[in-house]
Structure formats: C-alpha cells, structure tokens
Amino acid sequence: MKRFPWMAALGLSVSVMIPVAHADLVATYAFNNTLAAQQSGVSALTAVDPEGASGFVSANVFGNTQTVYHFDGTNLPPTDQGGLDFDATGLISPNNYSVEMVFDLSGRDNAWRRLMDSLDRQSDAGLYIDPSNNLDVFPQGGTSAPFTSNTFFDVFVTVAPGATSQVTGYFGGVQQFTEASPNLDLTANNTLGFFLDNVVGGGQGEWSSGDIALIKVFNTALTADQVAAETADPFAGVGSTSTPEPGAWALTFAGAAGLALLKRRGLRVS
C-alpha cells in the first residue's frame, strides 16, 4: 500500500497493482465460428479441407457446451486429410516456443495419429498419439497416461533451445515426457500443421478426424509451473477482445474523495 504526501493529508491510501501482461502468448484461437486469432495482426489459421467436410459444430468441452472446429476428411491418400495450418512468421523462433491444444480425436485407437507437424508434411517425425494411446514425439519416444478417443484433452508441448531442442509434453498440466529432439523445430516455411500427416516418405495415413476447441501459441518454452497455471483454466480470458497494455496501472482508492481528487488533478482513473 502506497501513500503519497497529498493523500496523507486526506488520510487516503492507494493500492497500486501492475497486472502481469502475458507477453509470451502471441496467438489465441477459440474457434467461435471463426479461424481468426484473437490478437490483432496475427494471421488466421488456414483450413486444410480438401473434401469440404470440416466446419464449426457444438461440443461439450470440459462440461461446457461451446463451438469447436470439426476437422474431417479421408485418411488415405494423406492429401485428403483435414486439419489446420498456423503461420508462425514473426511470432516464434524455430526452437523456442510452446503450444496448447484442447481437442478430441474421433477414433483409430491403438494407432498412430498425428497432432502437430513443423516439417511441412515432408517427414514422418512430429507429435503424435502413439499405438499405446500415449503422447509421443516421434521418433524419440514418450511415455504418458493414456489418451482416450472422443474425449477432450488439454495437450501442452514446449520446445526449448539447446544443442538439441528439448521437447516436453503435458496432459492437463501433468508432464508426460521430455525428450531431446529436433523434430518440432520449424523449417524455413515457418508453419505448424495441426492433425495433418506427412505426404511423402514412410508412415503415411497416421491421421484421425476430430474437434479442436482451443489453440494457444507462446513465444517461449514455458516452465512446468507456467504450464500448470495455464492449464488450470485454459479458457480463462479467452473470448475477450481487450488486451491490457504491458505495464498498465490499475488504481484502487479508499473512498470517493480520493477519486474526485484524482479527477480534479487530471489523472486517468479508468
């Protein structure tokens, strides 16, 4: 609690709070009948929907009915799969970022199913649900609690720089694996692909249809504590069109006299 000389004379106190602006969060997609980002100046997601089978539907997500994006298509050939592309240009570095996804998959239990690709669909490497229904960065591996089809999961993955990037995966804020892997590093095209399998090389057709309710992209590798905080309430603040400016001050005053005095002095109070 701060007291200023002119306020002491009036017996007033001021609580000065500087909200922590989430400088790391660079893109939020809530799929409220749009693929646009909530942040201004950030590109919308690109729908990959060769069969015209995808679109917005309602779903129960963690106990709440909301609009989600249903991606659909045909497993083989992989060029007929449905999914999404994210243009990361100018937003994240190739090997220092985090992504949160709230989604479900429609089926293909006990099979490989691609979640995220950073290699422009030119490699079998990437983030998957594996045949044991665990979260996996292929080909390095991963062990985790089982993923269940037709159930929404909060999957968080961080990529931290080093001699070899360190990839860490989480279910609902609980760490499932950490592996040294370059296979989620961005290539020169700066694109992250969601739910789309490779179109060249081996291991094609490792795909499932599903629904996506939320994607958040951060410009750094979040710590385990930060991931836990984000996933405790992933939809907190989502949908708001206003973003507090970094370093903005919020003032709370004891008594109407304090507010009136500030207004007379020409200070901004809202």
In this predicted model, what pLDDT tens digit does every residue of 26-38 receive, in sequence order? 999 999 999 999 9
Which of 136, 98, 127 is CA-nearest to residue 230? Answer: 98
Assigned CATH topology for domain 25-232:
Jelly Rolls (2.60.120)
**Does the pTM exceed 0.85?**
no
- How many Cα neighbours within 13 Å face the side chain of 207? 27
Q: How do residues 176-199 score in pLDDT, each as one tens digit?
A: 999 999 999 999 999 999 999 999
How far apart CA 95 and CA 160 sit, in angstroms, is: 6
Residue of 4 and 226 predicted with greater confidence: 226
Q: Where are the domains of the chain?
A: 1-21+246-270, 25-232
Tokens of 68: 């989600």
Q: Which residues are CB-neighbours of 71 under 8 A, at least 6 positions away? A: 47, 49, 54, 82, 83, 84, 195, 209, 210, 211, 212
Q: What is the mean pLDDT of residues 218-236?
A: 96
Least confident of 22-36, 91-105, 192-206, 207-221: 22-36
Q: What is the pLDDT of residue 258?
A: 37
CB atoms within 10 A of CB 75: 17
Under the banding of pLDDT at 50, 70 and 90, the label for residue 10 is very low
With left for phi above 0 and alpha for psi between -120 and 50, is residue 141 left, alpha or beta? left
- pLDDT digit string (tens) for 103-113? 999 989 999 99
Phi, psi torsion values for 194, nearest 5 degrees? -110, 125
Tokens encoding 238? 């989502």
Band of residue 23 on the pLDDT scale cut at 50, 70, 90: low
